Amino acid sequence: MDRRLFLGGAAAAGLALPGVSFASPNTEKRFVLIIQRGAQDGIHVLPPYGDPQYKALRKATRIPTPGQEGGALKLDGLFGMHPELGALAKLYRQKELIVFPAIATGYRGRSHFDGQNQLENGSNRPYGSSSGFLNRALRAMPSQPSGLSMGLNYPLAMNGKAQVWHFAPTTMKPPSDDFLARVEEMYADDPVLLGTLDAELLESAVSDLGVQERNGISSGRDLPSSALVAGRLLAKPDGPRIAILSSEGWDSHSQLLQKSLKLMPSLNRAVANLQTGLGSAWKDTVVMTVSEFGRTAAENGSRGSDHGTGGVSFLFGGAVEGGRIMGDWAGLRPQDLLDGRDVRPTVSTESVLKGVLGSHLGIPEGHLEETVFPGSRTAAAQTGLLKA
Amino acid sequence: MTSKNAFIACHRFGLGPHPGEMSQAAGDPQGWLRAQLSGPLPRLRTGEKRLSAADKLANLHLAPKEERGDIRRGYFDEIKLLVDDHFHQRQISKRPYAERLAAFWGNHFAVGNNSRAISSVITDHYADAIRPYMFGSFKDLLVAALTHPVMIGYLDNHLSFGPNSPLGELRKVRMNENLARETLELHTLGVNGGYTQDDVVALAKVYTGWSFTSPKTLGDEARYAEKIGGFGERRIGGGVFFSAYHERGPKTVLGKTYEEEGHQELLKVLEDLAAHPATARHIATKLVRHFVADDPPGGAVKRIETVFLRTGGNLPSVYEALIDLPHAWQQPFAKAKTMVDFVTAADRALIDYLPEPTGRSGILHNLGQAPLRPPSPEGFSDREEAWLTAAGVQRRLAYIALLSRKLRPPLLSVRVFEDTIGPVVSKRTDRAVFGAASAKDAVGLILASPEFQRR
C-alpha cells in the first residue's frame, strides 16, 4: 500500500528531492492548468440562452432558460452556466471567475492530436517542440519551482528539463530497497531510465483516499480526486507551483446530454476539491480550463456536435479579478460563424496564458515570448486578469 | 556482429527471445525474420466456431429482449477467451515479427471499448479485420478495418445519416464526421496529407449507410422500409450497408468526383486513398518509427515509402523492406519497449518458469496500456517519453517483483541472461546481475536492465 510520489521529467536525473535543493525561496504564486481533452462543447457548457439562434441550433441538446426547471445558471442577459456547474457559477458571483465564451488557440485545423500538441508544446504549431510550455515556464520563473503532473499518462505540456513531481499512486507492491539500489546502479549510464527512479514516499496527500480514488488518479479517470490531491501538494510550502490535470472524454460527437451526466458533475467537484485542497493557498492561485478547440455551433445528427473552433475557457482562483465575461460574442447566425459552422473566436488562449504566466508567476516578457511561447508574438499578453 | 544483430532481430523486430531463439537467429538474422512472413497468422481461438461481429450484433438485437442479457454475456466470455489466447500466442509464437506487425496494425486502426453498442464484439475487429488481412494489400486491410462494425461503432458512423438519403427525405437527419475525419487523418493520408474540411464532409457522405444491425436500424426498418421501398441492407465483407441511410448524389473527395453508387463509393474512395502518395509517406513514417527510431530517419522513410508505392501497397514487400533497412541494424537500444511488449518479452524469456499468461489485461491496465483502451483513436504512443516516465518505470519494476514471486524453481538465471541480453550487455548490467543475492533477483535485474527495457 505504498503511496509513492515520483519525480520525473525527461531529465530529472541528478536533481535533489523537493525541499532540499531550492536556491531561492519558493514563490507563493500557483497556477493550475486543466486540459479538457477531446474538445469541450462551449455552447453546452455556457449556453448563450439570450442568443436568438441558440434554440434552433440546439434542438435536442438545448439547456432550458434560466429560471425554468433544469435551467442554466444565469450569468448575464446572454450567457448561463450549465446547471451542473454550480461551483463555477458561485465563483463567478464571488468575482473569482472570468469566463471566455469564444476563445481558441492559434490552431485552426480540426485534429485533436495536432490541436492538443500545439496547445501543449507552445510553439504555435503542431510538433514544433518536444518540450512543453509549462515545463519551460517553470524554468523561466525566478524561483524555479517544481511542477506537478497527475496520473500515469505524462502530458506533453509538462515535458522537459524542469523538475516535475509525477504523481500516480499504485497498489502494486514495489520491489525491495536492495533491488532498487541495484537497478539504480545499472541505470547509471542511461539518464532517461535513471531519471525515473528518484522517488519519495508521500503519505499525507492521499492517506484518506480509498483504492478506487487512488486508481482513478493514476488512470486519469477521477478528476475530482486528482484535483483534491493536486491542491494539497500545491499548498505545501516546498511543494510544486504549476500543476496540470487532464480531463478526458469531451469528444461529444454523440449523446452530449448523456455524456454531460458524468462530465459536468466531475468538473464541478474538481473545482470545489481544488479549492478545498489548496486551503489558504487559494488566494494565490490561478486556474485555467482549456480545450484543443471548440465544436460546431449546431448539433449534429447524433445529439452531439462535431469539431469546431471557438470554445469556452474558465479562469478562476483567489488571485483572479473575476465576475466578468471577456471577449466579444460574434453571434450564431450563419454569417456570424467561422466558415458558416464554428463559433468565431475573439480571444486567444495563448494571450490569456501569457497574461497569467507573466503577471501572476512573474515570468519576464522576454522569456515568455522567446522560450515559453515562441512563435506567437501576435497574441499579446492579456492584461487586467488579476487582482491588483 | 552477428550477436548484436540477433539481439536486434529478436528484441527490435520480435517480441523478445525465447530460450535459444537468439542463437537460432544469429546465423542469418534477416533471413530468420523474412521466414516469418509466410502466410497468415494462426486464428485466435475461442473454443468454438465464431460468428462475425455483424452476425452477432444482428442475433443479439433480433433476439427477444429477455434473452439478450445471456447472449451478451456469451459474447463477453468469448472476448475473455480471445484476449487470453492473444497473450498466449504472443508468448509461444515462433513468428514474433509477424505478431508485432499484427499489433502494429491493431494500433494503427485502434478501436476502444467506449461504446456499449460494440463493446460485446470489440475483439472481433483485431481477430477478423486485422490479422487475416495483414499479409495482403494495404487497400484490402484498409477496407476490412474501416468497414468492420466495431470501427463503425467506435467512430460513430452508425449515428451518421445522409440528409438526402431515402430516409432523410422522410425525417430530418444529420451526418457525423468522426470516421471520415479519422480515416483521412489517422488511417490514410496523415494530418498534413493535403485534405480539407470539404473533403471530410464529402467522405462523411460517402460513409453514410455503413452501419450494423441495432435497435435503431430495426426500428427504422419497421417504420419506414415500406414507404421507401425496402431498406437496402446488405453484407459487404465483414461490414453492413443500408442504402436507406446513404446520401444521394455524386461526391467529390480530393478533387475526384464519385458518381452515386451505393456501397461501391466507399470501396472506390478507399482504393484511391490507399494508393495516394501521402498515405505511403504516412504509413512508412509510422512503420519506421515503430521499428527503427522515435524520430524516423528520412532516408529510411523514403525507402519504405518507395516500396509501398512501387508494389501498390503490397504489405509483405513492405515488411521485407523494413528488415532490409540498414538504419534498423545500427543502434541496438534506440527504442523503448512499450508496456505490452515488455510484458510479453518477460513471458517469452521466462516461458520455462511461468504458468500460462492469464490476467495480462489487468496487469496492463495497471501499467497504463490496457488492451482495448487506447487513449484515443490515434492509438497508443510509439515514443519513448510516453513509456519511460517515472511512474511508468516504477510500475515496470513493481511488475518484475510480482513476476519474480511466481517463477518456478530451479531457476537457471545464467541461461536466462545468455538467452536475452547476454550478447549486448554492458559492464554495469553484467556486474549487477552476477552480484545479485539470489537467482530470482538476478532474473529480476535482467528484466529491469536497460538492455531488456529497450530494443
- CB atoms inside a 10 Å sphere around CB A340: 12
Dihedral sign from CA coordinates of A207, A209, A213, A215? positive
For residue A22, give Cα distances in angstroms to A15, A16, A19, A25, A198: 11, 9, 7, 7, 16
- Has residue A275 got a pLDDT over 60? yes
* Residue of chain B minimizing CA distance to A7: B390
- Has residue A200 got a pLDDT over 60? no
Percent of chain B with pLDDT over 90: 85
Is there a contact between A153 and B368 if contact means CB atoms under 8 Å apart? yes
Rounded to two decimals, the ipTM of the complex is 0.88
Mean pLDDT of B343-363: 92
Closest-CA distance, A320 to chain B, in angstroms, reads 33
pLDDT value, residue A8 = 40
Task: Tell me if chain B has a CB within 8 Å of the CB of A304.
Answer: yes
Task: Read off the DSSP letter of residue B18.
Answer: P
Is there a contact between A190 and B401 if contact means CB atoms under 8 Å apart? no
| Least trusted range by pLDDT, from A56-65, A160-169, A360-369, B343-352 | A160-169
Task: Tell me if chain B has a CB within 8 Å of the CB of A179.
Answer: yes
pLDDT value, residue A13 = 30
Cβ-contact B367, B387 below 8 angstroms? no
Cell of residue B343, nine digits: 510484458
> Which pLDDT band, with edges at 50, 70 and 90, does A170 fall under?
confident
- Has residue A58 got a pLDDT over 90? yes
CB-based contacts of A72, cutoff 8 Å, min separation 6: A47, A49, A63, A64, A65, A66, A80, A81, A82, A83
pLDDT value, residue B48 = 66
pLDDT value, residue A174 = 82
Task: Tell me if chain A has a CB within 8 Å of the CB of B428.
Answer: yes
* Residue of chain A minimizing CA distance to B444: A179
Dihedral, A126, A131, A133, A136 alpha carbons, nearest 10: -150
Domain boundaries, chain A: 4-16+27-372
Closest-CA distance, B61 to chain A, in angstroms, reads 20
Closest-CA distance, B375 to chain A, in angstroms, reads 9
What's the mean pLDDT when you consider all of chain A?
90
Q: What is the distance between the alpha carbons of residues B2 and B346, in angstroms, rounded to a whole number?
A: 23
pLDDT value, residue A195 = 78
Portion 49-108 of A in contact with B at CB < 8 A: none
Cβ-contact B40, B135 below 8 angstroms? yes
Query: Could you tell me how far CA B231 lies from the centroid of its own chain?
Result: 33
> Which pLDDT band, with edges at 50, 70 and 90, does A259 fall under?
very high
Q: In which residue are the cell numbers 457548457 written? A: A45
Task: Tell me if chain A has a CB within 8 Å of the CB of B358.
Answer: no
CB-based contacts of A115, cutoff 8 Å, min separation 6: A39, A105, A107, A109, A126, A292, A293
From the number of C-beta atoms within 10 Å of its C-beta (0-12, 13-18, 19+), residue A350 rates as buried
> Which pLDDT band, with edges at 50, 70 and 90, does B39 fall under?
confident
What's the mean pLDDT when you consider all of chain B?
94
B34: phi then psi, degrees, rounded to nearest 5 = -60, -40
Percent of chain A with pLDDT over 70: 92
> Which pLDDT band, with edges at 50, 70 and 90, does A204 fall under?
low
Q: What is the distance between the alpha carbons of residues B129 and B144, in angstroms, rounded to a whole number?
A: 5
In this complex, how many residue pairs, one in chain A and one in chain B, have their CB atoms less than 8 Å apart?
Answer: 161
| CATH T-level assignment (fold) for domain A4-16+27-372 | Alkaline Phosphatase, subunit A (3.40.720)
Closest-CA distance, B174 to chain A, in angstroms, reads 4
Cβ-contact B369, B339 below 8 angstroms? yes
pLDDT in tens, A70-114: 999 999 999 999 999 999 999 999 999 999 999 999 999 888 888
Mean pLDDT of A31-55: 97
Task: Tell me if chain A has a CB within 8 Å of the CB of B331.
Answer: no
Task: Tell me if chain A has a CB within 8 Å of the CB of B395.
Answer: yes
Closest-CA distance, B317 to chain A, in angstroms, reads 30
pLDDT value, residue B153 = 94
| Least trusted range by pLDDT, from A158-162, A206-210, B231-235, B422-426 | A206-210
- Has residue B14 got a pLDDT over 90? yes
- Has residue B414 got a pLDDT over 50? yes
> Which pLDDT band, with edges at 50, 70 and 90, does A14 fall under?
very low
The alpha carbons of chain B give a radius of gyration, in whole angstroms, of: 24
pLDDT in tens, B80-109: 999 999 999 999 999 999 999 999 999 999
Task: Tell me if chain A has a CB within 8 Å of the CB of B187.
Answer: no
- Which residues of B fall within a CB distance of 8 Å from A170? 366, 391, 394-395, 398
Q: In which residue are the cell numbers 530529472 written? A: A12
- Which residues of A fall within a CB distance of 8 Å from B449? 186
pLDDT in tens, A210-258: 888 888 898 888 999 999 999 999 999 989 999 999 998 999 999 999 9
- Has residue A4 got a pLDDT over 50? no
* Residue of chain A minimizing CA distance to B155: A253
Dihedral sign from CA coordinates of B362, B364, B366, B370? negative
Is there a contact between B388 and A174 if contact means CB atoms under 8 Å apart? no
Q: In which residue are the cell numbers 458512423 written? A: B157
Domain boundaries, chain B: 2-35+336-453, 39-274, 277-329
Instruction: Specify the higher pLDDT residue, A169 or A205.
Output: A169
Task: Read off the DSSP letter of residue B336.
Answer: B
> Which pLDDT band, with edges at 50, 70 and 90, does A22 fall under?
very low
Q: What is the distance between the alpha carbons of residues B90 and B346, in angstroms, rounded to a whole number?
A: 11
Nearest by CB to residue B178, choosing from A186, A195, A253, is A253
Task: Tell me if chain B has a CB within 8 Å of the CB of A112.
Answer: yes
Cell of residue B155, nine digits: 467512430
